Structure formats: C-alpha cells, structure tokens
Amino acid sequence: MIKSKADIMVFENAQKQLEKAKKHVKLAQETEETLKYPTETFSFSIPVRMDDGTLKVFEGHRVRYNDARGPTKGGIRYHPGVTIDEVKALSFWMVIKCAVINIPYGGGKGGITVDPQKLSKGELERLSRGWMRKAYRIVGPDRDIPAPDVYTTGQIMAWMMDEYSIITGTYSPAVITGKPLSLGGSLGREYATALGGYYCIKEAAGKVNPGKTVAIQGFGNAGSHMVRLLAADGYKIIAVSDSKGGAHLEAGFEYEKLISVKKREKHVDAYPGCNKITQEQLLELDCDILILAALENQVTKDNAARVKAKMIVELANGPTTPEADDILYQKGIFLVPDILANSGGVCVSYFEWVQNKQGYYWKEDDVNAKLHEKMVEEFNATFDIHKNRKIDMRTAAYVLALGRIDEATKAKALY
C-alpha cells in the first residue's frame, strides 16, 4: 500500500509530542534511544475465503513499541484507513498511556485494513481468526496483549482468544482483553473508556469550571457511553455526530431517544427536530466541553483557532495535532489529552488481565471504584505538573509518563 501524507503524519505527530515533552524532563540516553524505534513491527497478509467462494487477501499489522515497563498492550482496529504508520503511532501512544495511568505494561497496537461493515459474520470470524493465526507468534499473555479498538468487539476478541488457545493447545483467556463475560471478560470493561473520561471531566470541573453544555464528535462505544454518563449527571448534550454526519439541538438531546433513533435509523441526524451539521461544524460550535471520540487529526492548525469550547476531552487517539495544541493552549482552552482521558479502557483491560491470571473475578462496583481511584490519582498528578511547570496538560502527561519509563529503562541496565 502506498503511504499517504496523512498516514505518515500520524507517526510524525507522535514523535513531535515526544520531542516537546523532552524539553521538560531529563531522560537517560538509553531511554531516548529506545523510544525512537518500535521493538517489533509485523505486517502480514490474511487470506480469507469469502461467502461467494472467492479468496480475498487482507493486510494485517501488529506493532510492539516498547516493553520497558511490562508486556505490550493495545487494541486491534478494523478500518479501511489502517496503515503500518498509523499502527506505529498508536502503539507509541499506548507506551505513554500505560505509563500515565501507571499500570505495568508497555505499548502495542494492531489492525487490519478492512471495512468490517462490508463483511458477513462468517467472513468477519474467518478474518479475525486469520489475524491471530499470523499474529500468535508475536502476542501472548506475558508478551503482548491485544484488546478491542475501532470497529472491533467482544465477539471478535472471543474468536481471537479461542484461535490462540487452539494454536497453543492451552486455554488462554489472558492473551486478550475486552472479551465477553462468559470467556473471562471483566465487568465494567464495555464502558470503561467513557467512564475514565467522565472521571477526568469531574476532576477538571472542580479546577477549571468549564460549564455543562457538551458537543461530542463520535457516537461509537466510547461516545455513546459518555453521552449516557453526562446526561445522567445533568450535562446538556447539544451536538453529537457519527460516521454519517452530525446533529445539533440547542435544547439538548434525550439519551434514550437518541439511542433509539441511532438503532432504528442508523444515524444520529435522524433525531426529530435537530439541525443537520457536518463534523467540521460540530468542532466549532459554541459549547463548554468538546469531546473528541472519533479518529485522528480532527483539530488541526487550520481549524483550532475557530474552536469555541472551554475544555476539550480526547476520548479518541490523536484527534488533535501538535500545531493545534499550541493554538488551543494560547487560547486558554483546557485540554485533557488522549493518553489520560481515554486510559480508562486500558486500565480496566489491565484489571481483566489480572482477573484472568488470578482466576478470580471482581464485582462491577469494585472495578469502577478501582478505576476511579486510578483516574483521580493520575489526573491530579498530571494537573500538578501542568500548574507547577506552566505547561499544557498533554506535555505534563508526557513528563509524568516519561519519568516512569526512564526509571524502568535505567533499572534494566540495557546492554
């Protein structure tokens, strides 16, 4: 596949964020050097017999970026735009994210270049098992632990876990997280990304007091659960979008009605009485909180100056470019970065892995309480660096993470 400029930019953006943070933290030479390159990069073809009898070949990837702090961890996404450069960037962000939330993991990521909505259930299963048949040599319960990401589900994780168990001859629930409860999944995992972001919003509210009108770009798993949590807490959701377009309603959306419309009509802009808007228009609405829960590179140097929100929360990975970060910070917009805001998902994935290892499973309230403790602790650690060093929240989160990665790298005394 020919790399586009956008594909390459994703990884370059990740490296720019790293370089910016390094000005505020002293790293050992070996830490700097090992963070420049992925530990392992694996691309492969996945032949799949389609329902009509033809054979189609899909491109799959898995990257283990850095394992200084433990086994690598990160999701698998199914999307037509998946490239190795995107996967490298996402795996790098997972290194930082796991260190920010302070769980004993490094970072990894995977994906398949595919539109899963064009596949039957049988084709999707054969594709998913095919990915694991290739990737099993790089993953493992103590080496690299995948999870769901864009357009992947608990069912897909179940197929992959089962395939790995068949290949290795050992029942291995800890090889992958985000599984159904019946196969070792954790209570609370389905909505953990949104809940972690919600805890960040509640902590931020006591410090920067942004207000309660909200626009959300992206109505997938994380975005829809965030709407549920915020609506129940008295926040007014005035705009929401999905892959087909956006909807604006100044009076605010009713969560149950919005879910019903999405399920029935397949797109949110069918909500009665709403104004149809574009993704770009949603980003520039006059609101208190803008939640980015879609894909990378949504707020850029070209539109950042027109963002009116008082606070941005990144539930997606990489939705804001480094150039946009600088503009938003100068405008006084408080941004909760992806490596903190959406770390609830990997945190509860870690809890799932621990439960799989123990063979003992926790109550949902216990999972959520442990997540709350983690998110509050690390949000405040990041916020303290932000205030004390007078740097933006993303750079503060990087400083926190890099210090932890540096400590682990030096302790290993790499040869």
Query: Which residues are identified as catalytic?
Result: 109
What are the two backbone dihedrals, phi and then psi, of residue 50, each rounded to the nearest 5 degrees?
A: -80, 170
Helix axes 364-389, 344-358, angle to 10 degrees: 140
Dihedral sign, Cα of residue 240, residue 245, residue 251, residue 256: negative
CB count within 10 Å of CB 23 equals 9
Residue from 108, 101, 114 nearest 135 by CA? 108
* Distance (Å, whole) CA 107 – CA 92: 6
Q: Which helix (H) or strand (E) holds 49?
A: strand 40-49
Cα(415)–Cα(413) distance, integer angstroms: 6
Distance from C-alpha of 132 to C-alpha of 384, rounded to nearest angstrom: 42
CB-based contact 240:253 (threshold 8 Å): yes
- CA geometry: angle 66, 67, 69, nearest 5 deg: 120
Enumerate the β-bridge partners of residue 268.
none
Can you point out the beta strands (E) in 179-333?
Answer: 213-217, 236-242, 245-248, 275-277, 289-292, 311-314
Q: Other CB atoms closer than 10 Å to residue 103's CB: what's the count?
A: 21
Q: Quick one: CA dihedral 346, 348, 354, 355, positive or negative? A: negative
* Strand pairing class (72-79; 55-66): unpaired
